[in-house]
């Protein structure tokens, strides 16, 4: 069966990055953000222009792309996209909007500046 994509873009470094409809449907029940209007555009912006990127805490072949979105009551809201390196491309595992950076001081920053 051929994969169909809801996103097929190049990341900030020019690597092809895909998000399948199947993966979106798999993750959406547990991630309400994935059901919001405009979420695919927010994911696209994060992949193409991340503020910073960390290595994933648990998987050496995954990355956490973050994009600062806005601040509410002195807490920064981020768009976070978890990508898996599949050699030929990057694959979106999931995306959501946390108000903290889980990987900060626990793993390597691989791109950008995390000044918070």
For residue range 48-100, list pLDDT tens digits in order. 999 999 999 999 999 999 999 998 888 999 999 999 999 999 999 999 999 99
To the nearest 10°, the Cα dihedral for 38, 43, 47, 50?
90
- What is the separation, in whole angstroms, between the first and last Cα of the chain? 44
pTM attached to this predicted model: 0.94
């Amino acid at each position: 069966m051929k994969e169909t994509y809801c996103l097929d873009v190049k990341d900030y470094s020019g690597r092809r990055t895909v998000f399948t409809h199947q993966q979106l449907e798999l993750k959406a029940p547990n991630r309400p953000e994935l059901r919001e209007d405009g979420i695919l555009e927010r994911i696209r912006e994060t992949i193409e222009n991340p503020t910073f990127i960390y290595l994933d805490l648990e998987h050496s072949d995954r990355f956490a792309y973050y994009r600062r979105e806005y601040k509410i009551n002195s807490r920064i809201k981020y768009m976070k996209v978890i990508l898996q390196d599949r050699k030929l491309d990057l694959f979106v595992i999931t995306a959501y909007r946390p108000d903290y950076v889980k990987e900060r001081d626990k793993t390597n920053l691989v791109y950008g500046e995390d000044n918070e």
